[in-house]
């Protein structure tokens, strides 16, 4: 055993000291301590093997990552790992957001509950229930949830639009007769910050002059008129693109 000298730790050859040197990147000093240890313990096969590995540059603890250069590499690796982690997080958040279905509200104004019975030559034979079912099926295909609402009351429509502010990514509205009169519905639509498509079953511009004026068309993103129930489906397809 070499005598202990406080000024020169190398003179106390222990494996701990050797490892410490190697960890700090002082490979030569580490090897020199192992050599002394091997001389002191000629029968210790493990020590001999460690020394041989170190001399060949294979020692686990002499790994480059512990030298000065290795430490730099380690830092770069850490930064890259952090970046990769952040990218992965972002991807997962986007995936989660995409997997939450967008919600579309379809509002039908007054007298549209009478479709199928009402002026069939103008509005067609499909009932409102049939139109709503087709909208739901189309929504399913497009990955959207579709909520339908019909009212004969202006205030109820206004309140439904207020609700949409909280939970809708798009609105389809056929304000029916209110199209031509309702400042209240127009003002409510102005509160929305989502795409709005105004739909009319009939082509209001080919009908009586009082139907040519829409209070809501310049508030809406677009208007579809004259295509019957197909207009609603096209509006939903367009919204799906506008929303995504």
Binding residues for ligand DQA (CB under 6 A)? 111, 174, 176-177, 179, 200-202, 204, 211
135 in Cβ contact with 146 (< 8 Å): yes
Residue positions counted in the chain: 244
Candidates 73, 240, 91, 97; CA nearest to 170 is 240
Round to whole Å and give the CA distance between 73 and 149.
Answer: 62
Nearer of residues 151 and 174 to ligand DQA, judged by Cβ: 174
Token digits of residue 102: 């967008």
Measured from the CB atom, the residue of 177 and 238 that comes closer to ligand DQA is 177
**How many CA atoms lie within 13 Å of 166's alpha carbon, on the beta-carbon side?**
4
- Least separation in angstroms between CB 92 and ligand DQA: 44
The span from the CA of 157 to the CA of 242, in Å, is 23
Cβ atoms of 22 and 59 within 8 Å: the answer is yes
Told to judge if 232 belongs to the known catalytic residues of this protein, a careful annotator would answer no
What are the φ and ψ backbone dihedral angles of 60, each rounded to 5 degrees? Answer: -50, -45
User: Which of residues 169 and 174 has its CB atom nearest to ligand DQA in the complex?
Assistant: 174
Q: How far is CA 14 from the centre of its chain?
A: 56
Closest Cα partner for 178 from 112, 105, 104? Answer: 112
Of 200, 205, 212, 232, the active-site residue reads 200
From the candidates 123, 153, 180, 212, which is the catalytic residue?
A: 123
Instruction: Find all residues with CB under 8 Å of 210, minimum gap 6, and list them.
Output: 180
- Measured from the CB of residue 171, what is the shortest distance to ligand DQA in angstroms? 15
**Cα–Cα distance for residue pair 186/217, rounded to 1 Å:** 9
Residue 176 CB, nearest approach to ligand DQA (Å): 3
Shortest CB 208 distance to ligand DQA, Å: 8
Q: Which is nearer to ligand DQA, 164 or 176 (CB)?
A: 176
Q: Is 212 a catalytic residue?
A: no
Please report how close the Cβ of residue 121 comes to ligand DQA at its closest, in angstroms.
Answer: 12
**33 token code pair:** 């301590």
Give 115 or 146: the residue with its C-beta nearer to ligand DQA: 115
Catalytic residues: 123, 200
């Amino acid at each position: 055993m070499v005598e202990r000298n406080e000024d020169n730790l190398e003179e106390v050859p222990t494996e701990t000291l050797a490892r410490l040197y190697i960890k700090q990147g002082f490979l030569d000093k580490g090897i020199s301590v192992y050599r002394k240890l091997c001389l002191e313990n000629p029968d210790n096969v493990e020590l001999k093997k460690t020394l041989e590995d170190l001399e060949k540059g294979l020692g686990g603890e002499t790994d480059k990552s512990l030298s000065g250069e290795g430490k730099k590499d380690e830092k770069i690796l850490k930064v890259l790992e952090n970046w990769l982690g952040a990218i992965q997080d972002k991807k997962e958040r986007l995936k989660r957001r995409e997997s939450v279905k967008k919600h579309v509200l379809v509002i039908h104004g007054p007298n549209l509950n009478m479709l199928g019975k009402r002026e069939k030559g103008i509005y067609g034979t499909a009932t409102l229930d049939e139109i709503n079912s087709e909208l739901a099926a189309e929504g399913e295909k497009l990955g959207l949830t579709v909520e339908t609402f019909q009212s004969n009351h202006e205030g109820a429509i206004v309140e439904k639009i207020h609700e949409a502010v909280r939970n809708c990514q798009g609105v389809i509205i056929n304000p029916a007769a209110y199209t031509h009169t309702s400042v209240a519905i127009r003002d409510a639509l102005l509160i929305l910050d989502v795409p709005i498509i105004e739909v009319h079953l009939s082509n209001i511009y080919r009908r009586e002059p009082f139907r040519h004026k829409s209070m809501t068309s310049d508030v809406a993103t677009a208007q579809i008129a004259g295509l019957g129930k197909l207009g609603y489906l096209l509006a939903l397809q367009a919204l799906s693109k506008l929303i995504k």
